[in-house]
Amino acid sequence: MNAERLHAIAAAVKVDLAESSALSHLQQLSTALSNLSSQPGQAEYQRQVSTSLHALESALTNAQVNTFSPTWRQVLDETAMSELLGVSLLARVQAAIAENQLTPTVASSAVQQLFAELQALSTHVDQLLAALRHLQVGQEDLEPGECEIGVLVPRNFVSNRLDKFADELEELNRIFGTFSELATGERPSFAIRTISSSDLSIFLESVPAVGAAVAVAVERIVALYRQLLEIRKLQGELFKQGLDKKDVKGVEDHANKIMDKGIDVLVKDLLTEFEKKGDGHRTNELAVEIKYSLKKIANRIDRGFNIEVRMEEPEAPDEEVAVDEKAQQMHERIQGAATGMQFLKLEGDPILSLAEADKGKAKKADSAEPATA
């Protein structure tokens, strides 16, 4: 995390609190519960609780914070804000009420405590924003229509060494270059927007079409990988029982087979949706490169990488010019894929060893120590 990104996240949290009216809804629910606790048999107070709870549920379910990117969500977790925002806060409220249905006084006290915590968070966010502005710390925002690709590289994957990190950056440039050729027909190098040293995160400038292709690819890879989480956990349990890697090779082979089949389907879908054809276009060669880029992404997700795509909604330059329809479509595609690109909770050792190049010059993923996403 860097100060400019924290500034942008804090500003977004402030907007979210204002637009969702979370404080107001929570206060109304707290008041209704307090009234009900004083006169439990009063039907009007029961209706007030129900109405206030429904309003809060609607506001927190539709809160923008729920759609924050994975790295933004990680910052919320690290700064202890996530439990007081969006659906996480709603879950706490619902649990407090469900656990104390027969004791409205206790439920009222629990909700009042949550209101006090949220009020304190709102105050701290205001103070943080004021301090950052006073110290002239910039705000790392995307302009309307701008897009970025973010990658979190686990330190143990590169042994916390600069030379290995540099090699991995070159590899990432090749991986994303494949998607660039797919969506635009060209392979320019990616410009760096930000690098965060605390968790080795790098954020790259991207055109929307490339960002959308990467987002769809990562979303589908993550969906495939979720099928392997229990297999990975089982493999870890077998290792704890004293079995060697060769003894559980069948488990690993099964996981690789599932991912391989899914990637073959995904290659065709990506070509159908995003392929940009032109002079000298090479569909067959590109399909092969996409396949191996997807395998590289899968191997890296298995080792604790996280890849995200963010795009600011495009807007028309003036009232007489319509919003770029293509850009709007890409924005909707990226937003639709965002929820499926969340951090995975990984247990046990990595399970994938997909070949990252053609036979004869095949390169398998380095065996890094397990990383926690």
| Token pair recorded at residue 330 | 């890409």
Question: Do 155 and 260 share a domain, yes or no?
Answer: yes
List beta partners, residue 311. 147
Task: Give 8's Cβ-side CA count (13 Å radius).
Answer: 17
Whether residue 347 lies inside any domain: the answer is no
* Backbone angle region of 354, left / alpha / beta, with phi > 0 → left and psi within -120 to 50 → alpha: beta
pLDDT at residue 72, rounded to an integer: 84
Question: Are 224 and 302 in a shared domain?
Answer: yes
Backbone dihedral angles phi then psi of residue 279, each to the nearest 5 degrees:
-60, 135
Domain shared by 297 and 172, yes or no: yes
Of 134, 169, 204, the residue at which a domain comes to its end is 134
User: Which range of residues forms the domain containing residue 297?
Assistant: 147-341
**Residues 307, 225 contacting (CB under 8 angstroms):** no
Does residue 361 fall inside a structural domain?
no
Question: Which of residues 134, 159, 193 is at a domain's end?
Answer: 134
Report how many domains make up the chain.
2
Residue 123 sits in the same domain as residue 169: no
**DSSP assignments along 315-371, one per residue:** --SSTTS---HHHHHHHHHHHHHHGGGPPP---SS-----B-S-TTS--BPP-PPP-
* 248 in the same domain as 111: no
Q: Is residue 366 part of a domain?
A: no
DSSP line for 174-211? HHHHHHHHHHHS--PPPPEEEEETTTTEEEEEE-HHHH
Q: How far apart are CA 275 and CA 181, in angstroms?
A: 8
Residues 71 and 103 in one domain: yes
Domain boundary among 105, 134, 163: 134
Structural domain includes residue 336: yes
Q: What are the Cα distances from residue 154, in Å, to 11, 37, 310, 354?
A: 28, 50, 20, 19
Q: With contact defined as beta carbons under 8 Å apart, do 307 and 150 qualify? A: yes
User: Is residue 359 domain-resident?
Assistant: no
Extract the tokens encoding 87. Answer: 């659906």
203 assigned to some structural domain: yes
Residue pLDDT tens, the chain, 373 long: 678 888 999 999 999 999 999 999 999 999 988 888 888 777 888 888 899 999 999 999 999 998 888 778 888 988 889 999 999 999 999 998 888 776 778 888 999 999 999 999 999 999 999 999 999 988 878 889 999 999 999 999 999 999 999 999 999 999 999 999 999 999 988 999 888 777 788 999 999 999 999 999 999 999 999 988 888 888 878 777 777 777 777 888 999 999 999 999 999 999 999 998 765 568 899 999 999 999 999 999 999 999 999 999 888 776 666 677 888 999 999 988 887 877 777 777 888 999 988 765 545 554 444 444 3
Contact 4, 137 (CB under 8 A): yes
Q: State the angle between helix axes of 249-274 and 229-240 in degrees (0 to 180), rounded to the nearest 10.
A: 160
Q: Say if residue 56 is in the same domain as residue 93.
A: yes
Domain assignment present for residue 92? The answer is yes
pTM of the complete model = 0.78
Q: Which among 175, 174, 181 has a CA at the least distance from the CA of 274?
A: 181
Residue 354 maps to a domain: no
Length of the chain in terms of residues written: 373
227, 307: one domain: yes
Give the pLDDT score at 369. Answer: 46
Question: 16 and 43 share a domain?
Answer: yes
Distance CA 329, CA 147 (A): 13
Shared domain check, 201 and 177: yes
End-to-end CA distance of the chain: 16
Q: Check residue 357 and give its pLDDT.
A: 84
